[in-house]
């Protein structure tokens, strides 16, 4: 089954509303083995919608539409689809009863405009709306081998309608399940990862492997199509293991979501606690850790030691080290990590100190130089990072990448504990 997602609404074209519907529907369709080949957005204009529908059905047999089902004059999706399919509009009692129930459970008065929403193309299967007045519908054209699914635009109305009513309908039409897993890689470039996997990516059709670049990371999506989720997982297992063997410790998790989520999960698993001492990242490491639910079980203390006197007085960095080597040095990072670990009585202390820019760099210590330290019973080290990429206004990028290296180093320490 080849599908297209078509979202209707001038507000989407103007950027007044972010189109989250397409992403949601695409993921849900992929999960049941329906391939999405195209996505499009059209304004509230019947002629342009008709033209787009003709293009859509020339290359797909399923079009999922959202929006344009309301009671106002510019809500023309149903009428346009009906015209394309050669169907008249008729009053649908089942749809009307659903609308009426919504008004009976609210303090609002039903108007004639709302009655208009109960008119559907002849032969349409109504989809009940549990959170609004606009019913959706499924319209099949067996002669032309095409199907239109019409859904309301508001996500809180569209999502339950799609998952509870459309997905079961589509599952009867397809006999395969598409399953994906995400492998998270840190510290390697997308081009390097792709070059290592090039032959497999070229030759394999099921499962498939596709890389996606993120800031400082690469996400590898492994996807398999099979008769069941269990069968698809069995097909992907050797691929995932091969990637882990190739990239070793650079793989920080599968379906874990983020470095901070992987760190919190590992700390919870081992019953460990971490603490942070940050200079150039200004609390970003601790912020990212505490974004993860359950972080309070594994994280007690974060020190933002921007000033040298705080590094000395609170973290115990020696005055001699700061005078001789400066705040941005391997030795300072090591003492910061050890100091915050001792202060918080934590199992792991992690530190950052560097030059985020745009000013403050020298030939010896340029903008982007960051030292990341970690201190634990079994593993203590300092990593020197050169994070400048020569961009303008890269201060926030440098800080983010530095925080990622700190999270990765803390994760390594937790795994070695």
The mean of the pLDDT values for the chain is 94
pLDDT of residue 287: 98
pLDDT of residue 71: 85
> How would you write the chain as a 3-class SS string?
CEEEEEEECHHHHCCCCCCHHHHHHHHHHHHCCCEEEEEEEECCCHHHHHHHHHHHHHHCCEEEEECCCCCCCCCCHHHHHHHHHCCCEEECHHHHHHHHHHHHCCCCCCCHHHHHCCEEECCCEEECCCCCCCCEEEEEECCCCEEEEEECCCHHHHHHHHHHHHHHHHHCCCCCEEEEEEEEEECCCHHHHHHHHHHHHHHCCCCEEEEEEECCEEEEEEEEEECCHHHHHHHHHHHHHHHHHHHHHHEEEECCCCHHHHHHHHHHHHCCCEEEEECCCCCHHHHHHHCCCCHHHCEEEEEECCCHHHHHHCCCCCHHHHHHHCCCCHHHHHHHHHHHHHHHCCCEEEEEEECCCCCCCCCCCCCCEEEEEEEECCCEEEEEEECCCCCCCCHHHHHHHHHHHHHHHHHHHHHHC
Q: What's the rounded Cα separation, in Å, for the pair 31 and 232?
A: 11
Whether residue 107 has pLDDT greater than 80: no
Give per-residue pLDDT as tens, 235-272: 999 999 999 999 999 999 999 999 999 999 999 999 99
Percent of the chain whose predicted confidence (pLDDT) is above 70: 100
Give per-residue pLDDT as tens, 88-100: 999 999 999 988 8
Whether residue 391 has pLDDT greater than 90: no
Give per-residue pLDDT as tens, 174-228: 877 788 899 999 999 999 999 999 998 888 889 999 898 888 899 999 999 888 8
* Contact predicate 211/218, CB 8 Å: yes
pLDDT of residue 100: 87
pLDDT of residue 207: 93
Q: What would you report as the CA-atom Rg of the chain, rounded to the nearest whole angstrom?
A: 28
Q: Which two tokens stand for residue 48?
A: 């342009």
Find tokens 């492998």 and name the residue.
Answer: 183
Q: Which residue has the higher pLDDT, 34 or 124?
A: 124
pLDDT of residue 203: 87
pLDDT of residue 388: 95
Give per-residue pLDDT as tens, 118-139: 999 999 999 999 998 899 999 9
Name the residue among 345, 392, 356 with its Cα closest to residue 282.
356
Dihedral, CA of residue 87, residue 95, residue 63 and residue 73, to nearest 10: 70
Give per-residue pLDDT as tens, 348-388: 999 999 999 999 999 999 999 999 999 999 999 999 999 99
Q: Which residue has the higher pLDDT, 313 or 35?
A: 313
Q: Which residue has the higher pLDDT, 114 or 352?
A: 352
Rounded mean pLDDT of 279-290?
A: 98
* pLDDT tier for residue 312 given thresholds of 50, 70 and 90: very high
Whether residue 108 has pLDDT greater than 90: no
Give per-residue pLDDT as tens, 147-163: 999 999 999 999 999 99
Domains of the chain listed by start with CATH number? 2-171 (3.40.980.10), 178-254 (3.30.70.2860), 259-416 (3.90.950.20)
Rounded mean pLDDT of 284-296?
A: 98
pLDDT of residue 399: 98
Report the DSSP pairing between strands 274-278 and 348-354: parallel
pLDDT of residue 308: 96
> Maximum CA pair distance of the chain?
87
Give per-residue pLDDT as tens, 219-228: 999 999 888 8
pLDDT of residue 317: 98
pLDDT of residue 326: 97
pLDDT of residue 79: 96
Q: Which residue has the higher pLDDT, 213 or 50?
A: 50
Name the residue among 370, 379, 363 with its Cα closest to residue 414.
379
pLDDT of residue 284: 98
* Contact predicate 189/258, CB 8 Å: no
Whether residue 416 has pLDDT greater than 80: yes
* Contact predicate 354/279, CB 8 Å: yes
* pLDDT tier for residue 18 given thresholds of 50, 70 and 90: very high
């Amino acid at each position: 089954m080849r599908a297209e997602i078509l979202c209707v609404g001038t507000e989407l074209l103007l950027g007044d509303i972010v189109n989250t519907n397409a992403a949601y529907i695409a993921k849900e369709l992929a999960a049941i083995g329906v391939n999405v080949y195209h996505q499009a957005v059209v304004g509230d204009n019947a002629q342009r919608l008709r033209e787009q529908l003709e293009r859509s059905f020339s290359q797909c047999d399923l079009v999922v539409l959202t929006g344009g089902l309301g009671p106002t004059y510019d809500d023309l999706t149903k009428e346009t689809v009906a015209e394309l399919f050669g169907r008249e509009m008729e009053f649908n009692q089942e749809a009307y009863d659903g609308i009426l129930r919504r008004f009976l459970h609210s303090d609002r008065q039903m108007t004639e405009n709302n009655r208009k929403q109960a008119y559907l193309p002849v032969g349409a299967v109504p989809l009940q709306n549990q959170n609004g007045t606009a019913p959706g519908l499924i319209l099949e054209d067996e002669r032309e081998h095409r199907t239109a699914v019409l859904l309301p635009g508001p996500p809180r109305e569209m999502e339950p309608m799609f998952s509870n009513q459309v997905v079961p309908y589509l599952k009867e039409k397809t006999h395969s399940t598409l399953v994906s897993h995400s492998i998270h890689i840190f510290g390697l470039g997308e081009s390097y990862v792709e070059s290592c996997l090039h032959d497999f990516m070229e030759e394999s059709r099921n499962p498939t492997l596709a890389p996606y670049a993120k800031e400082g990371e690469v996400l590898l999506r492994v996807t398999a199509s099979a008769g069941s989720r269990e069968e698809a997982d069995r097909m992907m297992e050797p691929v995932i293991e091969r990637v882990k063997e190739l990239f070793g410790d650079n793989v920080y998790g599968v379906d874990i979501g983020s470095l901070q989520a992987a760190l919190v999960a590992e700390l919870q698993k081992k019953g460990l606690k971490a603490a942070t001492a940050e200079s150039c990242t200004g609390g970003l490491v601790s912020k990212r850790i505490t974004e993860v639910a359950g972080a309070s079980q594994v994280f007690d203390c974060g020190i933002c030691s921007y000033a040298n006197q705080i590094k000395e007085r609170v973290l115990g960095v020696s005055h001699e080290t700061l005078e001789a080597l400066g705040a941005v040095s391997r030795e300072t990072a090591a003492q910061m990590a050890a100091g915050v670990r001792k202060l918080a009585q934590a199992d792991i202390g992690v530190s950052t100190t560097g030059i985020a820019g745009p000013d403050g760099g020298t030939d010896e210590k340029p903008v982007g130089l960051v030292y990341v330290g970690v201190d634990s019973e079994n593993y203590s080290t300092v990593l020197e990072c050169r994070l400048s990429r020569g961009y303008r206004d890269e201060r926030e990028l440098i800080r983010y990448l530095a925080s990622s290296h700190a999270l990765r180093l803390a994760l390594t320490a937790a795994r070695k504990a």
